[in-house]
Amino acid sequence: MFSKKAKSQPCWHRFIAISLFFIYFILLAAPTGAVGLDGLNNSCVDCHKKLSPFTDEQSRFNEIRLNHTERNISCSLECHEDVIRKRASDNFQQWSDSAHSEYYVTCDACHGGDPTAITEAGAHAAMKNVSDPNSSIYFKNIPDTCGKCHAEELDHFKNTMHYQRLRAESRAPSCITCHQPHTFKVLKAAELTTVCSVCHNQKDNIATPTVPNDAKQALEKQNELQGEILNAKNIVAQAKAKGMDVSTAQMDVDAAVAVMNNAPSLWHGFNLKDFDTQIQSGIDYAKKAEYMASDAEPTVPRAPGIGIAFVLGIFALLYLIRKR
């Protein structure tokens, strides 16, 4: 069977296997270094994430709705709904899918309250009703609330007619007019026309009716700038890989990128003519970079020995002439 030598050797392989087994379970039980939403000490998140739209009661109602649908019985979504719970759960779900969630900007940043409180009453104690002029989400206070993080956008917005009207009347647009609360999404060019047309239209004659179309074209031009920058970066990278001198082209790319980075703040000034001018300058920088990179010269001579050979040839020719 086994030799004496084999029997006398310690079973190191068994010892190592058992040790690795225990180490695995210790590491599995240990907390990770990553910080997620579940790791936040925030009662807003802890409580509102439990307000799932799929509670036991709502799941039962969903079965009823499904049964009605299969029997061709009309059934309203609201007839078996806990409206308050659904609104809270929907708001949390929208927030959790937003950029604010990714940067851990939680409910208290906009609504106030105490995120460290362990009771609902304690968490909501300092919050004020949306109709209270002292509330952080009162319509006139929304720009300042958003401006706590978005300072540059607020500075531009305060110089607009939108802001002046907002201070005077409730129907003027504010941040949440374009960036819906809880989703905080950035509107696309095609979506902008509907929002602007609420005031900017021929029928109501509240404001300049051409603005929706002008705004749409402005955002489309911004998309064009983004595409030109990407194209310019690719051309410059290819030229650099071939040994070309792309220093001038790279400066133009950087200038185009600077315009692009400033576009969000500039947009909130709602000066479409100035915005269009600035974006066009960025496009011009990007196209210039493309031209400069495609027309660049090599950073080193393609054949270093040619210059030396040429000089030696001249000396040889002079030598022959003098010898004659």
What are the residue boundaries of the structural domains of the chain, listed by start?
39-104+117-123, 128-187, 211-294
- Of 148, 212, 155, 203, the closest CA to residue 178 belongs to 212
228 burial (CB, 10 Å; 0-12 / 13-18 / 19+) is buried
3-state secondary structure the chain: CCCHHHHHCCCHHHHHHHHHHHHHHHHHHCCCCCCCHHHCCCHHHHHHCCCCCCCHHHHHHHHHHHHHHHCCCCCCCCCCCCHHHHHHHHHHHHHHCCHHHHCCCCCHHHHCCCCCCCCHHHHHCCCCCCCCCCCCCCCCCHHHHHHCCCHHHHHHHCCCHHHHHHHHCCCCCCHHHHCCCCCCCCCCHHHHHHHHCCCCCCCCCCCCCCHHHHHHHHHHHHHHHHHHHHHHHHHHHHHHHCCECCHHHHHHHHHHHHHHHHHHHHHCCCCHHHHHHHHHHHHHHHHHHHHHHHCCCECCCCCCHHHHHHHHHHHHHHHHHHHC
Tell me the two tokens of residue 37.
């939403």
Per-residue pLDDT of the chain (324 residues; tens, 9 = 90+): 444 444 444 555 555 555 555 555 454 444 444 344 555 677 677 777 666 555 555 566 656 666 666 666 655 544 554 555 555 567 788 888 888 888 888 888 899 888 888 888 888 888 888 889 999 989 899 999 999 999 999 999 999 989 998 888 877 888 988 888 888 888 888 888 888 888 888 887 777 888 889 999 999 999 999 999 999 999 999 999 989 999 999 999 999 999 999 999 899 999 999 999 999 999 999 999 999 988 755 544 444 445 555 555 555 555 566 665
| Contact status, residue 240 vs residue 246, Cβ threshold 8 Å | yes
